[in-house]
A and B are shown apart, each in its own frame.
Chain A
Amino acid sequence: MLEVLNVLSALRKQGWRPLRSIHFASWDAEEYNLIGSTEYVEDHMSDLRDNAVAYLNVDVGVVGDNFWAAGSPVFERALLRVLDRISDPVKNGTLRQRWDDGKSKLEGLGAGSDYVAFQDMAGCSSIDFGFGSKDGAQGFPYHSCYETFEWMERFGDPAVSVLCDADEGDGMCVKGFNYHKMLAQAWVLLILEFAQEPVVPFDLKIYATAVKGYVDDLEKYAAAKGSKEKVDVGPLREAATLFEKNAKVLHDWDDYWYSQVFGRGGFENSAMAYDRMTHNARLTDFETNLLDLPAGKDDHEQHGVSPLLSPFSSQSQLQLSRFLPLALHAKLKSPH
């Protein structure tokens, strides 16, 4: 991250200004239930929901030579553009070539790192990435006292003979920490995609296709658990189809903007600028709109993930009655 800051500050010194603010954060207490990042998100909840565009997460940055990424599907197009522009001097090809050769895919987010509060609580589209080992196995001494700089230098990202940069003369030279360099490149380029592209490069068409897949998976999953004729995924499938249709209409506007603005030598009139801001707001608000939030002051229904505790299920009454003595006890003890 310090290397990324160096690059951006060098750009800044040359007079570069991003269109959107870039915040850097290093989180405490990740292993203890993501406490640091969650506290931050809770403190800035409405700001993040209304204004945040994207959250980039790097946790275990380099432990191998295989680039992987997991995140909201809105990132896929921008990510592939970035990978296309980074060369891997060790394997001699672009990261995009290696991504395609390895049949890599942008995976879905689990709950294993600090993106959880951003994506699942604030609805801020998030992506997590790094270099891992080919088979996904933890080949390095993960979470142990052998996780050292020496290990990284000798085994994790070791010195190898690589093709040198042009300014160092042609031919081969020996260099270490190659994958750390590529990680910083990917990171900076992704930041630039979201901080300086006039039209935010989110792709909701890819998202819509992914959602249709999730619905299919859900149906199969439920069927395997014996849901036959008990659960109808129809409403969800219809909603996904509407999403796909509207995403296509929304993205047709991208082509219109590029042809209008680039067709005029890069000049954007104020009407186009206004339209672009509306367009960007629609793109970046989409995931915030996927949050299950109360509709207003009078909405007292339960929101968020908790079907098991619905007040109508017998299970939750059992739990409530277990909690009740504790609650009463606390009340008696309270001085008020």
Chain B
Amino acid sequence: MPNSNHLTNAPSTCQIPGREQFKHVIFGPQAWSGYDEAYFPAIRDAVDTGDWPAAQTQLEKAARILRRASEKLLD
């Protein structure tokens, strides 16, 4: 019984506990829409919550990965 209570109460019902399995920095499911097309999901998530420092961190990470992938095209 206590265990079931924890199970039902634990994650607040209107939040998804992250989706780290999705690794692609440009394409990925959005937090709140399964069908629409979505680009830069991690950045958009941060923008949606108004967390600007997180948005900037995610943006710089995406930029770094895109830059490295582009450099590898000519390596």
CB of A293 within 8 A of CB of B27, answer no
For residues 42 through 68 of chain B, which have their beta carbon under 8 Å from a beta carbon of chain A? 42-52, 54-68
Stretch at the interface among A78-86, A161-169, A170-178, A228-236: A228-236
Which residues in A have their C-beta under 8 angstroms from that of B58? 307
B66 to chain A: closest CB distance in Å?
A: 4
Near B by CB (< 8 A), chain A positions 291-325 give: 291-293, 302-310, 313, 315, 319, 322-323, 325
Cβ-based interface call for A287 (8 A): yes
Give Cα distance in the complex from A236 to B48, angstroms: 18
Is there contact, CB below 8 Å, between B18 and A218?
Answer: no
Q: Take A112-B34, A231-B55, A235-B59 as given contacts and tell me if A290 and B66 are in contact as well, using a CB distance cutoff of 8 Å.
A: yes
Q: Closest CB-CB distance, A204 to chain B, in whole Å?
A: 7
Tell me whether A286 and B40 are in contact in the complex, defined as CB-CB below 8 angstroms, given that A235-B59, A307-B45 are known contacts: no
Q: Which residues of B from 1 to 47 have beta carbons under 8 Å from A?
A: 2-3, 6-7, 9-12, 15, 17-31, 33-47
Instruction: Given the known inter-chain contacts A108-B27, A239-B66, A291-B25, please indicate yes or no for A319 contacting B38, CB distance below 8 A.
Output: no
Task: Find the residue from A249, A287, A325, A326 having the highest chain B CB count within 10 A.
Answer: A326
A111-B30, A116-B29, A246-B70 known; A304-B20 Cβ under 8 A: yes
* Cβ–Cβ contact B52 & A230, under 8 A: yes
The yes or no answer to A275 lying at the interface (CB within 8 A) is no
- Which residues in A have their C-beta under 8 angstroms from that of B6? 325-326, 329
Distance to closest chain A CB from B12 (angstroms) = 7
A247 within 8 A of B: yes
For A306, list chain B residues within 8 Å (CB). 18-20, 42
Given contacts A110-B29, A120-B27, A307-B45, are A235 and B71 in contact (CB under 8 A)?
no
Measured between alpha carbons, how far is A33 from B40 in the docked complex, in Å? Answer: 21
| Residue A336 interfacial (CB < 8 Å) | no
Distance A123 CA – B25 CA, assembled complex (angstroms): 10
Q: Is the CB of A303 within 8 A of B34?
A: no
- Measured CA separation A189–B62 after assembly (Å): 34
Asked if A225 CB lies within 8 Å of chain B CBs, one says yes
Q: Which of A111, A112, A225, A226 has the most CB of B within 10 A?
A: A111
- B residues lining the A interface (CB < 8 Å): 2-3, 6-7, 9-12, 15, 17-31, 33-52, 54-75
21 A–B contacts from the bound complex (CB under 8 Å): A110-B38, A112-B35, A116-B29, A123-B23, A214-B26, A218-B39, A227-B55, A231-B55, A235-B59, A235-B63, A239-B64, A240-B66, A249-B74, A291-B23, A292-B65, A293-B23, A304-B20, A308-B15, A308-B18, A309-B18, A326-B6
By a beta-carbon cutoff of 8 Å, the part of chain A in contact with chain B is: 70, 72, 107-112, 116, 119-121, 123, 204, 211, 214, 217-218, 221-222, 225-227, 230-233, 235-236, 238-240, 242-243, 245-247, 249-250, 282, 285-287, 289-293, 302-310, 313, 315, 319, 322-323, 325-326, 329, 333
Give me the 4 closest cross-chain CB pairs, A-B, nearest first: A108-B37, A111-B29, A304-B20, A306-B18
